[in-house]
Amino acid sequence: MNQDKIKAAAAALRQARATRVAIPRISEQFGIQGADEAYAVARCNTMLDLAEGRRVVGKKIGLTSQAVQQQLGVGQPDYGVLFADMEFLSGSEVPASRLIQPKAEGEIAFVVGRDLDGESLSWGRFLHGLEYALPAIEIVDSAIQDWKLTLVDTVADNASCGLYVLGLEPRAIGTVDFALAGMDFRKNGHTASVGSGVACLGNPLLAAYWLAGTMQQLGDPLKAGDVILSGALGPMFPFLAGDHLHLSIAGLGSVDCRTA
């Protein structure tokens, strides 16, 4: 793996985020090829973020839609890092000034109650390790011009993660049918996206299980208190500063925010 091109691609993405100016595909500009090199670019920026004092509080899952996977020619999701300064709570004013070309997705978030480490992670042990579920708005944001992404570009750009907003009423894991949970996501009072849990790998729990197993295999297991954004329940949509977003998910309640 050519470390010079990894560092150059990471620096370009970092500059794009800092100046909020989108750039051409780093896959083409720097010759980044395949998921391994893309994750190496993302890790490079994560290490710089940690050195600057940012704190990891969880992970997000992307590419949970089969249609999107087919479009990008992949057979599994991807993941990115959630930092503490990305998190907002329902009712907050979210700063659009931190974003480049944001879009919103309705998701189910899980809160890890017990460390998901060790040599093996069975389905039972995974479920035992989840504490709560919450409705969540993920504000995805790409540093790549016009959202013209390849798999490599979104993985390298921390899975296109921008900010996220969590609901205030956690539900116990066993009280919700996540696959059948219907979503109504509104912008300024008008429905902008609808969907359900089945659109997220068939069940958001399966997406979270994939992530937990992947992170364990990579030696970076999910820990108690981590937040998992499990993937979109329906299509994402763009919004502008001043818009009001309100997400309702059956069995989980609602979450809302205003952008400024």
For the chain, domains (ranges, CATH) are: 56-259 (3.90.850.10)
Q: How confident is the model at residue 76 (pLDDT cuts 50, 70, 90)?
A: confident
The burial of 235, by beta-carbon neighbours within 10 Å (0-12 exposed, 13-18 middle, 19 or more buried), is given as middle
Residues 6 or more apart whose Cβ sits within 8 Å of residue 51: none
Residue 208 and residue 200: Cα distance in Å, rounded? 10
The closest of 254, 234, 106, 108 to 176, measured between CA atoms, is: 108
Residues 6 or more apart whose Cβ sits within 8 Å of residue 229: 58, 59, 60, 61, 82, 107, 109, 136, 138, 164
pLDDT of residue 27: 96
C-alpha gyration radius of the chain? 17
* Residue 112, φ and ψ in degrees, nearest 5: -75, 130
Q: How confident is the model at residue 240 (pLDDT cuts 50, 70, 90)?
A: very high
**Could you tell me if 83 and 55 are in contact, meaning their C-beta atoms sit under 8 angstroms apart?**
yes
Q: How confident is the model at residue 237 (pLDDT cuts 50, 70, 90)?
A: very high
**Could you tell me if 183 and 247 are in contact, meaning their C-beta atoms sit under 8 angstroms apart?**
yes
pTM of the model: 0.96
